[in-house]
A = this chain, B = another copy of it.
C-alpha cells in the first residue's frame, strides 16, 4: 500500500506553504519528503499515538474525528487537499488529539517534525500561517461545542450541509461520507440524520439523489442552522 519517494506528487510543491517557504529559504533539501498513499478506509493517524511527522493531504478526502471511550465518534472536519495533519505537535501536544482516516484513496506527503519545527522557528511568515491555521481550527471547535449543545437536529444537519457546501465551494456536491458519518459530523444518530434530510427535501430546501446533494434554498437553510 505504501509507495515511497518514487511516486511523483504533481501539485504538492506548488500548493503547500511549507514547500514554498522551504524553497524560498533554500531549505528544500531539509524536508526529505516521503510520499505515502492510503487506500479508502485506511487510517492515516490514530488518536493518542505519537506524532512523528507532519502530513499534508495532497489528493483525496479524509475525515478528522475524535472518539470517546464509548464507541461513538464525532467528526471534526473533512480534510481536503493541502490540509495539514499533525500540526499540534508544534503546540506542545506530542500525541494526536484526533484520528484521521481516508474517505477515498488519498495521496499524502510527510515530512519530519523537526524539519517542520525548524522552518516554523526560522520563518516568521510561515509561523504566522501555521498559527492562523491553528487559531481558526480552535475557533471552529468552539463553534462546534456550541452547535452540538444548543441546536437541535434540523439545525445541526443544516449546518453540516452548509459546511460541506462551503468546503466544496458549490451548492451542489457529492457527499464523500455516509449518512452515519454525516450524523457523526453533527453528533446525531444515523436514523435521525436521514429523517432530517428527508424533511428538508420534502420542504424543497434541499434536493437529494443518493449521495448527491443540492442546496436549493440556502437562505432558509442558513436560518434553520441559526435556530436553536
A11 to chain B, nearest CB (A): 25
Instruction: Provide the residues of chain B in CB contact with A226, threshold 8 Å.
Output: 69
Instruction: Provide the residues of chain B in CB contact with A98, threshold 8 Å.
Output: 142
Instruction: Provide the residues of chain B in CB contact with A128, threshold 8 Å.
Output: 92
Segment 121-153 of A: residues with Cβ below 8 Å from B: 121, 124, 128, 131-132, 134-139, 141-142, 144-151
Cβ-defined contact, A70 with B228, below 8 A: yes
A81 at interface by CB-CB < 8 Å? no
Assembled-state Cα–Cα distance A226/B70 (Å): 9
Instruction: Provide the residues of chain B in CB contact with A150, threshold 8 Å.
Output: 68-70, 72
Segment 173-228 of A: residues with Cβ below 8 Å from B: 187, 226, 228
A188 to chain B, nearest CB (A): 10
Segment 66-101 of A: residues with Cβ below 8 Å from B: 66-70, 72, 74, 76, 88, 90-93, 97-98
Cβ-defined contact, B66 with A142, below 8 A: yes
Count of identical protomers in the assembly: 2
Cβ-defined contact, B74 with A146, below 8 A: yes
A145 in complex: contacting residue of B74, B124, B136, CB < 8 Å: B74
Instruction: Provide the residues of chain B in CB contact with A144, threshold 8 Å.
Output: 145
Chain B CB count within 10 A is highest, among A70, A98, A147, for: A70
A158 to chain B, nearest CB (A): 14
A97 in complex: contacting residue of B76, B93, B134, B142, CB < 8 Å: B142
Cβ-defined contact, A88 with B145, below 8 A: no
Assembled-state Cα–Cα distance A196/B73 (Å): 26
Instruction: Provide the residues of chain B in CB contact with A138, threshold 8 Å.
Output: 88, 91, 93, 97, 134, 137-138, 141
User: What 3 pairs across the A-B complex have the smallest Cβ distances?
Assistant: A91-B135, A92-B132, A70-B228
